[in-house]
Amino acid sequence: MTETMRWFGPNDPVSLRDIRQAGATGIVTALHQIANGDVWPREAIAARKARIEAAGLVWSVVESLPVHEGIKTRAADWDGLTERYRQSLINLAACDIRTVTYNFMPVIDWTRTDLAWPMPDGALALRFELEAAAVYDLHILQRGGAAQDYTPALRDRAARRFHAMTQEERDRLERTIIAGLPGSEETFTTAQFRDALAQYDDVDAEALRANHVAFLEAVCPVADDLGIQLVVHPDDPPFALFGLPRVVSTEADVAALFARVPNRSNGLCFCAGSFGARGDNDLPGMIDRLGDRIGFLHLRSVQREPDGAFHEAAHLAGNADMVALVAAIHRLQIREGRSIPMRPDHGHQMLDDLSKVTLPGYSLLGRMRGLAELRGLERGIAHMAALQ
């Protein structure tokens, strides 16, 4: 695998020098300063690339080139938005950047309910808890029709929990969910979040899938010509949330998308943590079956808990069988004669980073630990395969 790390640009507390010393050779980044729906100028892309190369690294993958909500809802300005997306792809290709990550999650990107959940060793992890999401949805946001999305038992637990919370705890939960996590495309106030959800009142899962297909049919021919692979990041968490459909959550979802849009540029960012939050996703098997479409890897492991909760485990722990998963990736790379960009994802906040200002999930030391573990695992698997 080609070892990379995500970097959020010049304001990231983790520097390019830090990433290089961690052993990565590639950078995964985006022009976060540019508003969703606007064209990424060639000059800005070239300047970011030059800065990365001056640090002795390579801009390997774009993560992410955002898909505007107007594309996801098929709004009136859909044609203009897709044309600007195509132009951004043209500008990226002109700078020789050929792997572009995106997602098709409505309104909110990846979502957690706790950004500092204590682990037994004293490190802090990200956690999603469906009960906490229900507290926010039912009692803070007070979304119309929310009650039907939760079981009576969960509604009762959420009510008791809400009434036991302080106002500070309620505010923290709301900020965690809607204020925007690293790499998220939007941040919201409560009123703005309600308005954004309302845009999807008439967009169910079937309509969202159709809009996703329409988007790919509009941009993939250009991507094909440019030699760009668009890799879709799966839903995180991989199930409907706050009444919003999510349609890139399972192997069947992804396989159907490839069948509908067979262009070679229609690819997958395989996120082991996102897919792994569902027990019905067979991670090594998905590598074997979908491998020719995989252009980027996020390797992390979650520990599933009862009642729809999960937390970020250490990279070699949790529910993902990382040994089997990396072995499947090794077979894929040998079979296709390529090295796939990989980044360790969502490391624990640990050691000296506990006393520093860090981006949730993207502190240096937890990701560096994960990268080292994954590097050793891959080399061990490669060595054993060579002996057979």
Tokens 């970020």 identify what position? 312
Q: What are the catalytic residues?
A: 233, 271, 298, 345-346, 362
Can you give the pLDDT at residue 188?
86
Can you give the pLDDT at residue 105?
96
How is residue 316 written in tokens?
Answer: 């070699």
The average pLDDT across 130-154 equals 96
Whether residue 97 contacts residue 45, with contact meaning beta carbons closer than 8 Å, is answered with yes
Smallest CA-to-CA distance from 239 within 309, 302, 312, 295 is with 309
* Residues whose CB is less than 8 angstroms from the CB of residue 203 and which lie 6 or more positions away in sequence, other chains included: 72, 73, 106, 211, 245
- Model-level pTM? 0.97
pLDDT of 149 above 80 = yes
Domain architecture of the chain: domains with CATH: 2-111+203-387 (3.20.20.150), 114-193 (no CATH)
pLDDT of 180 above 80 = no
Whether residue 56 contacts residue 27, with contact meaning beta carbons closer than 8 Å, is answered with no
Whether residue 73 contacts residue 200, with contact meaning beta carbons closer than 8 Å, is answered with yes
What is the per-residue pLDDT across 260-315, written as a single tens digit (0 to 9) for each?
999 999 999 999 999 999 999 999 999 999 999 999 999 999 999 988 899 999 99
What is the per-residue pLDDT across 37-52, written as a single tens digit (0 to 9) for each?
999 999 999 999 999 9
- Rounded to the nearest integer, the mean pLDDT of the chain is 96
